[in-house]
């Protein structure tokens, strides 16, 4: 199955700065989702953007989607130390049924320092 690529693989910023992570995928999608994972823990769903949407906001998060380039970006504004985690994009392909499989990207490890 296809797997998205994320870049950068690792990102280190200072508190208050913005963090941008990018995700590219290979096949047509129904929607794209972003998740956060703290070390050794499960996943927390952050935001879902559908294929007919171009931008979505949720609090300090901004997600864009460019289906022509098969890419998405996640922007975290005014980062906090608590944002330190791994971030994954995951896509749901078209024609995959009622409860659809997620295909995860490689992830970006974000470190926010004080």
How many Cβ atoms sit within 10 Å of the Cβ of residue 90?
A: 22
For residue 105, the minimal CB distance to other proteins (Å) is 6
For residue 71, the minimal CB distance to other proteins (Å) is 17
Residues at the contact surface with other proteins, assessed by CB under 8 A: 1, 3, 30-31, 35, 40-45, 48, 88, 92, 98-107, 109
Q: How many CA atoms lie within 13 Å of 35's alpha carbon, on the beta-carbon side?
A: 19
For residue 2, the minimal CB distance to other proteins (Å) is 12
């Amino acid at each position: 199955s296809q797997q998205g690529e994320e870049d950068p693989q690792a990102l280190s910023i200072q508190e208050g700065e913005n963090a941008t992570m990018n995700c590219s995928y290979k096949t047509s999608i129904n929607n794209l989702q972003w998740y956060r994972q703290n070390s050794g823990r499960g996943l927390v769903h952050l935001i879902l953007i559908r294929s007919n949407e171009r931008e979505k906001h949720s609090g300090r998060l901004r997600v864009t989607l460019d289906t022509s380039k098969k890419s998405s970006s996640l922007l975290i504004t005014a980062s906090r130390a608590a944002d330190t985690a791994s971030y994954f994009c995951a896509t749901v392909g078209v024609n995959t049924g009622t409860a659809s499989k997620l295909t995860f990207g490689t992830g970006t490890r974000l470190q926010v320092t004080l």
